[in-house]
Amino acid sequence: MAVKQVVLSFSLILALGFIPLLVFSAQAIPFERLESLRVVKKINKNGPFLGLITVYAPEEEAFFKTGVFKPNPRHPFVDLSGRRFRIGKVEGKKVIYVKCGVGLVNAAAATQQMLDLFDIKGIIHFGISGNANGSMQIGDVTIPGQLAQTGLWDWLKPNATMEPNDFAQFDFKSYNDPKGGENQLGKVGYSTEQFYSAAGEVNVPQRPVWFNITNNWLYVASHLQGIKLDQCANSTLCLPEKPKLVVGLKGATSNFFIDNAAYTQFLFKTFGVTSLDMESSAVVMTCLSNGYPVIAIRGLSDLAGTQKGDNTIRLFGSLAALNTAKVVIGFVKSLPISHVSRF
């Protein structure tokens, strides 16, 4: 009897001891988030899902305008951290869609949140981008095989020595107009990203320049080349040639909206990139870091400053977004169930 009382008393002490912790935990998490997490738990019972991540309103509007997204009748969406995650189906496959917002931080944060909270098997990222490649035109869609984060630079004095591990150099005085003289901006050296991943050594970053799209997803995408894309933004505004899809080129991402011919030409000459955007590498790096398959699909909306006159994104952004959406839908439809798996 005494032993039982001791056990009961000890149990009571443990229970009472944990009450403040439970109260603290409940108080630490806002009620709205707790409710959202309960919904997430219910949603995951119907998983797994493909993750769809786009960037801003025009891309979202073009995607939903196709009518291919069929919302889940019971749980059509859940709101988390100011973002709306929409649950539904595309071409019969279960998907969770979110608009991440412009820039590297938004893209990485939304991707990590999607991977952490939902039962996701892989992520399809899509949007519009600038074009640095003279063999491509506005309206074309590119699915890069490799992406670089071209926003990491060591900014140096005019005559400073470059870091030995810098991948590339951009010397401002080379672009002086008229030629000659010193440019006080000096030069910058491209520094590679510190990349931590499940496939690498723990707590030891790799230093890659390029981040590779998941191979078998890229293989599936390659069979979409020849897909019919729109040529006209409206009844009076059309492109001179029919747009095309090209798979396997390179892309660059940074927190710059690039509308400058000299810099665009430098990026193409130095890195050999076609698409220039502000999110793709962040999504791809986050997925690869966590060990998930990923692909990026970008429609070319402008010439990144190499055009005459104003940037054409306002004229052809909607067309590029619609062509991108068509390729996304084609990819989802073509993706075999066997390929929707963690790597």
pLDDT at position 8: 45
Question: 7 pLDDT exceeds 60?
Answer: no
50-54, 252-256, 261-265, 339-343: range with lowest mean pLDDT: 339-343
The whole-angstrom separation of Cα 44 and Cα 208 is 34
Q: Which two tokens stand for residue 208?
A: 């890659």
pLDDT at position 339: 55
* Cβ atoms of residues 251 and 277 within 8 Å: yes
Q: Where are the beta strands (DSSP E) in 25-76?
A: 49-54, 69-71
- The one-letter amino acid code at 309 reads G
What are the beta bridge partners of residue 300?
A: 129
Bridge pairing between strands 250-253 and 245-247: unpaired
Q: What is the pTM of this model?
A: 0.88
What are the beta bridge partners of residue 54?
A: 99
pLDDT at position 322: 98
Q: What SS3 class is residue 43? A: helix
300-332 pLDDT, tens digit each: 999 999 998 888 899 999 999 999 999 999 999
DSSP class per residue in 291-340: T--EEEEEEEEE-TT-SSSS-THHHHHHHHHHHHHHHHHHHHHH--GGGS
Question: 6 pLDDT exceeds 80?
Answer: no
Residue with token string 């193409």: 268
CA angle 123, 284, 41 (to 5 degrees): 40
126-169 pLDDT, tens digit each: 999 999 999 999 999 999 999 999 999 999 988 888 888 888 99
> How high does pLDDT run on average in the chain?
90
- The one-letter amino acid code at 295 reads I
State CA 113 to chain mean position distance: 13
